[in-house]
Amino acid sequence: MNFIKPTIRPRRLRKNKEIRDLVQQNNIHKNDIVYPMFIVEGKNIKQAIKSMPDINRLSIDLTIKEIEKLFKKGIKGFALFPYNDISLKDEKGTQSTNSNNLINRAIREIKKQIPECVIFADVALDPYTTHGHDGVCDEKGNVLNDETVEILTKQSIELAKSGADFVCPSDMMDARIINIRNALDNSGFENTGIMSYAVKYASGFYGPFRDAVGSNNLLKGDKKTYQMNPANKKEALIEAKLDVQEGADIIMIKPGMPYLDVISQTKQEINNPVAVYQVSGEYSMLKNMIDSGDLSDDVIMESIICFKRAGADIIFTYFAPQIIDIID
């Protein structure tokens, strides 16, 4: 048999690490990473979250210490979520607009200590409602759009007042971006940004997060009347483009790994920065397998670089502390 020698040898560019590094097409930089954190009332409190190995709810003082440490290492962005005691929750999520609630106090204190860190503050009612929905409901349990948007606008103004750099509506109500932008501008917060969770799928991968913010046992029904159907791709463009028109500065897609096609499509179609959230379930899945030894921790960077390859500019990930040490 006559052997046919390769005329083109792509393996040349994989010959050694130095060459591979030189031709690498995507890179993770510390500037790209945002660390989501859970905050709890009290002092010197560190509570493990059962479904999220190595992730803790921290009191404000410990949150500040953690942010200081990571900020020094180069992580600039932090996304904050409050864990509220059930006694603070009601049907209407009243505490969401209280300027002295846990999240507003946390933002003020963090900004006092580390003014340069970039704070992304979630806008939605689920940490505050007894039914676990992101909005208010009628007597039949339907999540009401316009009534919810009114509350979200007030919640956003309080977060902006406390010093949030970006308010981040994660509720998926219609027309919340234009109303929040308008309210911020009319209240003197024209420099507070909006990162919209514009393309948020009704995903099973949020399970551990709901454990972390204490809404998992409360949720009545599901979020499918506002979050998107995982089967739909074009609809993502309707949501993303609407939110850009309405005034969003950054467009978020979430979850991450199951929706790489959506990231890629969105990046091609809009000019604003695109963020992706590697959500709690994605994190815990990988982390459990790494901890059991069944996967090597190479999967951390592999699961992050795929977001860059798909076109994401900013990556929210619970692996942020590990990533910063790996790329250092």
The amino acid sitting at 184 is L
155 binds ligand PBG (CB under 6 A): no
Indicate the residue among 189 and 206 with the shorter CB distance to ligand PBG.
206
Angle, helices 145-162 vs 102-113, to 10°: value is 30
Give the Å distances, CA to CA, from 79 to 44, 107, 246, 288, 307: 20, 10, 22, 23, 18
For residue 195, the minimal CB distance to ligand PBG (Å) is 12
Is 82 or 193 the residue whose CB approaches ligand PBG more closely? 82
Give the tokens for residue 294.
């069944």
User: Considering the rule CB under 6 A, would residue 124 count as an interface residue with ligand PBG?
Assistant: yes
Asked whether position 134 contacts ligand PBG by CB under 6 A, the answer is yes
Amino acid (1-letter code) at residue 261 = D
Closest C-alpha to 90, from 122, 127, 121: 127
Residue from 280, 284, 303, 317 that binds ligand PBG (CB under 6 A)?
Answer: 280
Residue 59, interface with ligand PBG (CB under 6 A)?
Answer: no
Q: Which residue is nearest to ligand PBG (CB)?
A: 209
Query: What CA dihedral angle connects 36, 41, 47 and 50, to 10 degrees?
Result: -70
Q: Which of 160, 173, 263, 279 binds ligand PBG (CB under 6 A)?
A: 279
CA distances from 228 to 23, 166, 246 (A): 38, 23, 19
How far is 70 from 211, CA to CA, in rounded Å? 24
Binding residue (CB under 6 A) for ligand PBG from 210, 267, 287, 308: 210
Q: Is 272 in the site for ligand PBG (CB under 6 A)?
A: no
Nearer to ligand PBG, 61 or 258 (CB): 258
> How many binding residues for ligand PBG (CB under 6 A)?
11
* Minimum separation from the CB atom of position 55 to ligand PBG (A): 10
> Which residues ranging from 170 to 209 are in contact with ligand PBG (CB under 6 A)?
170, 206, 209
Residue written as token pair 């509720």: 171
Q: How far is the CB of 326 from ligand PBG (least distance, A)?
A: 21
Kindly state whether residue 307 participates in binding ligand PBG, applying the rule CB under 6 A: no
What are the structure tokens assigned to 119, written together?
Answer: 């704070």
DSSP 275-316: EEEE-HHHHHHHHHHHHHTSS-THHHHHHHHHHHHHT-SEEE
Which run of H or of E encompasses 166? Answer: strand 166-169
Q: Which of 49, 84, 126, 272 binds ligand PBG (CB under 6 A)?
A: 126
Distance from chain centroid for Cα 267? 17
In the complex, the smallest distance separating the C-beta of residue 226 from ligand PBG, rounded to whole angstroms, is 9
**Which positions are catalytic?**
200, 254
Q: How far is the CB of 316 from ligand PBG (least distance, A)?
A: 8
> Which residues of the shown chain bind ligand PBG in the complex (CB under 6 A)?
122, 124, 126, 134, 170, 206, 209-210, 223, 279-280
